[in-house]
Structure formats: structure tokens, C-alpha cells
Amino acid sequence: MSLSKIFCPKFLPKHLLASAKVVTNSGDCIYKPRRHLSSSDVQFAKLAQEKKPDWNRAVSEAEKIVGYPTSFLSLRWLLSDEIANVALHLRKLVGSNHPLLKTAKGLLYNGKNNMQAWGLIVLLISKAAGHSADIPDMEQDKAAGVLHSQRALAEVTEMIRTSHLVHKGLVNLQPPNNVDASGDMMFGNKIALLSGDYLLSNSSIELANLRNQELVELMSSAVRDLTEAEFVGPRDRQNNPLPAKPKAKQVEYKQFIENNLEPLIVSEALGNAQAEWTLRNVLNAGSLLGKSCQGTLKLAGHSEDLQEKGYLFGKHLALAWQACLDREPFQPGSSGSFSLVCAPLMFTLQNKPELYEHIEKGLENVDEVDYDLLRAEVLEGPGLELTKKLQKEHSQAALKVLNELPASDARTALANIIAAVQES
């Protein structure tokens, strides 16, 4: 995937790569790098690998099944003038505080949440489901067992996701509180905005080249959902999400609408821990992965019914994934901040609504929140257990779809990935 290529180590000084732990407030979780790329990082990476061996093995085996990592294809982006330019401009930002650098690091080192895995899953489900017999040989990548168009779609998925993360990493410089004297932040925003736009526009050209208008509409609606995610519930000045005030009466989340081209209804979910969490993360992740899986089955000429199942598979997998990431900041020995809309905290809030006054301290800036206090509360309550349960439900829903497909190496690889998510 292009952006992670341009953010490759040679453009960044060592000290930036060496930091072992990336904490983002703007993201949804704390990322712990697992793939070490610099020597000073080796020790930590080893530790991480020992802790969770299944994940890396599951992914690297899966990559072999579909030929090679999807992102390898995008090497050609590196040759474009625009990207060469971004790399140059990015160097100017080194030393500034602009979060674009954090985003760039995250793209490379955020372990489980890495972009490659998204494209990989799209390719695996493509291979696991196979394709209809009347697709000409020319359009197939026989060795990998997927269609060229499906490979392109996997790349589109990665580009859309990356573009969204890059745009999310802008800094709010809205006047009059703008204190950016150096202009670094403004320049960083410019580069981040243009890089994101570049990826988005290229994804739209790639999609157009597939000459399937239903697919274009589906994927565009996934982009829309991602943008919608950034408006759900209360926000601080930097647009970091805060949970809505818990409501006494809880409703169960359902997919509020039948046709997933329609936008999701937001207001009903707010204040209901599980419904709100699900809504946020369907918009933020589930929609894109779900629609990509749905789209790839569309390209293979499968029935509407199976396409719908593809959507459910991707959506549930993304949600299981997110639930797993949400639990990480509460592992023994963790410290520091975490996302205020992570599942464990939202469940805890639902149980102890009086804690919401601590959340409200972060309405201006989420850093004002007392994270140690909240962590202690979460560890006390049923939040973690409920999150684990939620994660299991979604893993199983994804496995259920998977089991309807014929047995194959690709299906096994997907099952391994789900298991790796589940076990951690």
C-alpha cells in the first residue's frame, strides 16, 4: 500500500522508529508495534512476538496462500511524482509535532491493525469463495486463485482505509484558538490532506477501471460511512470522540436498515453502550471491510445472497478485531491514555453512569480526563468481560459465514486469523 511505502524507514530518522509504543488519542486504541524494522526495536518486538505468536504466523501463512502481500502491487505508486513529492515534504515535518508522522508510523507498525491485513482478508475471502465458471482465463490470476479485479479491489480497500486514517490525522487549526506560530502544523495539514485526497482519487480511478457500477456505488458508500464516523457523538476540539451520556433504557443494536447503501441512523444508538459502540465501529471499520468482501464476491459473479454473507463476514470480523484492540490498554501493566469510546469503558459507564462526570472533563480536550482513575474503574467492573463476550459473538458470526464456504487453504487461513484475534 502506497503510503506505508513512502513512509518507509529511509525517509524517517532512527529515533522516530525506535519508540516502542505508539499512543494515539485520535485513533481508537493503543497500538503496539509488532513488526520490528529497526535494530533498537528488536527486543521489544521479540517480546511481543513471544506473547502472541499466532497472529504473525496466521498472517504470514495467509499471505503465501494468495501469492504475495497485496501492497507489493502498489510499488508503482512509488514511481509517481506526487508521492515522491510527499516523501520530500514529509522530511520537512520531521521534528515537528504534526500527527501525520504518527499516522505514518502507525501505518507501518501498528501490528494487528495494519493495512495489509485488510487487503489480505479481501483476497482470502475471494479465494475461499472461488468464482463463477464463465469468467475468462485472461481475467484470472491462476497461481493465486483470485481475479485481477479482486486484487485491484483489495488495493482499493487499503487505499480508502489509509486515506481515511491520514485525513483523520489532521490537526484542527480553526481560528481563533490557532496557536501555530511556526506554520509547521499548517504545512503538515496541507500534506496530510493532499496525500489522503491523492489516495482517495486514485482509488476512485482504480474502481472506475473495474467497470462495475454497482461496485463503485457500494465502495463509495463505504467512503461515505467512514466520513460519517467522524461526526458521531460528542467531540473534543481535536475531534476525538467521547461517549454520549449513558441512557437509562438500553436498546439492542440491530442493523437499522436492510439495504446497506443507505446511511445508518445515529440518534437511536447514542447512549446505549453496545449499540453506540457497534454503530461507531460499523461506520469506522465494519462497513469498509464488509463492503469490500461483498464487492469481491460481486466481482466473482456470486449470488446476491452470498454477497450479503460476505458483507456480514467482513463486518463481524472488523468488529471482533476492534473489540480485541479495545481490550489491549487494560492488560496487566498497561498505563497511559486510551480511546474514550472503547468497549470496556463504554460498558463500564453503562454500569456506573455517575462516572460520566469524569468523561465530561475531556469535552474540550480528551487529555484532561483522568485515565488512571477510569482504568481502575474498568478493571473493577464487568466492562472487560462484556467486551470479551462481544468479541466472541462477532468472531463466531464471522466463522459461521466462513463455514458455509467449501473447505480450502484460504478458508483455513481466515479461520486461523479469526482464532488469533480471539485468543489474544
Partner 1 sequence: MGSKTILNVRFHEKIGCLFFGSPGILRRRGCFFDGVSSRWLAQCGYLRTDTAVGILQVNRSQRNVQATAVSPMHPCVRPEQVMTTLRSYATMNTQQPGPMPEYQVDPYRLLEDDLKDVYSYIKTVLRRNTYQEGLYEIATYYFDGNGKALRPMVAILMARAINYHMYKENSALLASQREVAMISEMIHTASLVHDDVIDQSDFRRGKPSVNVMWNHKQVTMAGDFILAIASMMIARLKNNEVTLVLSQVVTDLVQGEFMQLGSKETENERFAHYLTKTYRKTASLMANSVKSVALLAGADEQLSELAYQYGRNIGLGFQLVDDLLDFVSSSAMMGKPTAADLKLGLATAPVLFACEKYPELNPMIMRRFQEPGDVERAFELVHKSKGLEQTQFLAKQHCQEAVRIANMLKDSPFQKGLLVTADYVLNRMK
Please report, as ranges, the residues that interact with partner 1 according to CB under 8 A.
Answer: 81-82, 85, 89, 164, 167-168, 170-175, 186, 189-190, 193-194, 196-198, 200-202, 204-205, 207-209, 211, 213-214, 216-217, 220-221, 223-224, 226-228, 230-232, 235, 237-239, 261, 263-267
Grid cell listed for 368: 484532561
Cα–Cα distance for residue pair 48/289, rounded to 1 Å: 26
Cα–Cα distance for residue pair 59/219, rounded to 1 Å: 25
Q: CB of residue 398 vs partner 1: minimum separation in angstroms?
A: 26
Nearer to partner 1, 278 or 422 (CB): 278
Cα–Cα distance for residue pair 346/276, rounded to 1 Å: 9
Nearer to partner 1, 12 or 218 (CB): 218
Cα–Cα distance for residue pair 90/8, rounded to 1 Å: 11
Q: CB of residue 198 vs partner 1: minimum separation in angstroms?
A: 5
Grid cell listed for 174: 480553526
* Closest C-alpha among 270, 291, 290, 289 to residue 280: 270
Cα–Cα distance for residue pair 310/172, rounded to 1 Å: 37
φ, ψ at 237 (rounded to 5°): -60, -30
φ, ψ at 194 (rounded to 5°): -70, -40
φ, ψ at 160 (rounded to 5°): -65, -45
Cα–Cα distance for residue pair 322/58, rounded to 1 Å: 18
φ, ψ at 141 (rounded to 5°): -100, 90
- DSSP code for 31: E
Q: How many CB atoms lie within 10 A of CB 46?
A: 11
Q: CB of residue 180 vs partner 1: minimum separation in angstroms?
A: 10
Q: CB of residue 84 vs partner 1: minimum separation in angstroms?
A: 10
Nearer to partner 1, 175 or 333 (CB): 175
Q: CB of residue 183 vs partner 1: minimum separation in angstroms?
A: 10
Q: Is 203 helix (H, G, I), strand (E, B) or coil?
A: helix
Nearer to partner 1, 265 or 376 (CB): 265
221 contacts 261 by C-beta, under 8 angstroms: yes
Nearer to partner 1, 228 or 409 (CB): 228
Grid cell listed for 391: 468479541
Q: 387 vs 126, 227, 245, 278, 401, CA distance in Å? A: 30, 25, 19, 12, 22
Q: CB of residue 44 vs partner 1: minimum separation in angstroms?
A: 31
Nearer to partner 1, 60 or 201 (CB): 201
Nearer to partner 1, 113 or 240 (CB): 240
309 contacts 404 by C-beta, under 8 angstroms: yes
The answer for 165, left when phi > 0, alpha when psi is -120 to 50, beta otherwise, is alpha
| Cα–chain center distance at 355 | 28
Cα–Cα distance for residue pair 319/296, rounded to 1 Å: 19
Q: CB of residue 163 vs partner 1: minimum separation in angstroms?
A: 8
Nearer to partner 1, 235 or 352 (CB): 235
Nearer to partner 1, 263 or 336 (CB): 263
Q: CB of residue 126 vs partner 1: minimum separation in angstroms?
A: 21
Nearer to partner 1, 52 or 190 (CB): 190
Cα–Cα distance for residue pair 381/273, rounded to 1 Å: 14
Q: CB of residue 419 vs partner 1: minimum separation in angstroms?
A: 34
Nearer to partner 1, 109 or 198 (CB): 198
Q: CB of residue 353 vs partner 1: minimum separation in angstroms?
A: 24
Q: CB of residue 227 vs partner 1: minimum separation in angstroms?
A: 4
- DSSP code for 265: P
